[in-house]
Structure 1
């Protein structure tokens, strides 16, 4: 099993790192350099891990000088921040077609199947993204990046809550929001467990998690 330790917010441990881009690339050559930095960082994450990753290693892999990197990113955490933001956005795009009132009205068995399929689709998408598994770990392990994950989960909660309440206006809105927020965190935790323990059956994990989430939401719906 791969263990990921929580690491300090900054290399010095004194202040949280600056995550803001210094500037966004506009010219084609600048965009190419910017993407090479992100690609190099993604490659190295899987090879050396979060703690050993450094801007010097990224520059060497990308074939650029440190000043070229520092035009855009102040440190390695800002690069990880951009990778994490992109991963969350792609995952959310996968979710959007599912988050509609028609889905929320599905019978219990069909709804559970759809949740399991969505879980497996998100799992596959994350594994296919450059360093998707390691970026997921970084969003959990690095304190200064956890707001990316939490912000995305809050966004998804509201994305799911709106169609659910449209489909079931009699449901307790506050309880529904809490249930969705907890379900999202639980599903991501299950996804990370699969990354850490390849002996587990993804289909079985997806089915079990889907049944758990569905049972809670069916109670919120009330009598059919």
Structure 2
């Protein structure tokens, strides 16, 4: 079985100086992440600073440095939160809806991604970190490879696909290609231009269909 990309949760110690041990501290950290998300949408990553984040979160700058060494670390923690929210939302869909095939599950995954683009502060500016740093989630694997690994786990569990290096590669290509088209959709229209969103779905479905069929044929 191919090795899985590093789970972004395993990198939490990289972005946090220390984990908040009390509920009050945890809420303070969440306010910092919320402030970071809002500022990313308003001023962008280059103009982002720990001072601005502290002011927006209404905390002392020392409180920021108590948990985070710099703005990159805060952005990394926000990215991890985005990933966990995305996987949670997709997992909830998988638990509550009946998919007649994996292609409907892929459509649901894309719908959740698009909705987060529209509704989650900071997500359109950061996504899964690729807008800032291709290795923000993991020092070895690029961000989209980490996401592909997480989605692979969901699809394997739900549809019993055969785990293989070929499936890994196919999902990585699908995430990269689909992500590029979706990024274009949101550059064209802040709400996501529907023809390009539909195009991303078709691209991913048709590519994965052809790859899965080729893998079945090769094993026959």
Q: TM-score, normalised by structure 2?
A: 0.73
Aligned residue for 2:126, secondary structure, equals: helix
Tell me if structure 2 keeps the 8 A contact 1:120–1:206. Answer: no
- How much has 1:143 moved relative to structure 2? 4.8
Tell me if structure 2 keeps the 8 A contact 1:21–1:78. Answer: yes
- How much has 1:158 moved relative to structure 2? 4.6
Give 5+ residue unaligned stretches, structure 2.
1-12
Partner of residue 77 from structure 1, selected from 67, 72, 75: 72
Q: 1:66 to 1:181 in 2, by over 3 A?
A: same
Equivalent in the alignment of 1:29 = 24
Partner of residue 85 from structure 2, selected from 72, 85, 90: 90
- How much has 1:63 moved relative to structure 2? 1.7
Does residue 203 of structure 1 match 2:198?
yes
Q: Give CA-to-partner distance per residue, 1:156-211, whole Å, 9 cap, x none.
A: 335435666x45x5xx9332222122222222223222222227322343234323
Aligned partners of 2:131 and 2:148: how far apart in 1?
A: 12
- How much has 1:41 moved relative to structure 2? 0.6
Tell me if structure 2 keeps the 8 A contact 1:19–1:74. Answer: no
Which runs of structure 2 are paired with 1:1-224 in the superposition (5 Å)?
Answer: 19-96=14-91, 98=94, 110-136=101-127, 138-145=129-136, 147=138, 149=143, 150-161=145-156, 166-167=160-161, 173-198=164-189, 200-201=193-194, 202-222=197-217
If you compute each CA radius of gyration, which structure gives the higher value, 1 or 2? 1
For structure 1, which segment, 44-53 or 19-28, has the greater mean C-alpha deviation from structure 2 after superposition? 19-28
Aligned partners of 2:108 and 2:24: how far apart in 1?
A: 40
Give 5+ residue unaligned stretches, structure 1.
1-17
Tell me if structure 1 keeps the 8 A contact 2:178–2:200. Answer: no
- How much has 1:37 moved relative to structure 2? 0.8
**How many residues of Structure 1 are paired with residues of Structure 2 in the alignment?**
196
Aligned partners of 2:128 and 2:43: how far apart in 1?
A: 13
Aligned partners of 1:75 and 1:130: how far apart in 2?
A: 20
Aligned partners of 1:146 and 1:133: how far apart in 2?
A: 17
Aligned partners of 1:143 and 1:180: how far apart in 2?
A: 17
Aligned partners of 1:113 and 1:155: how far apart in 2?
A: 18
Tell me if structure 1 keeps the 8 A contact 2:178–2:203. Answer: no
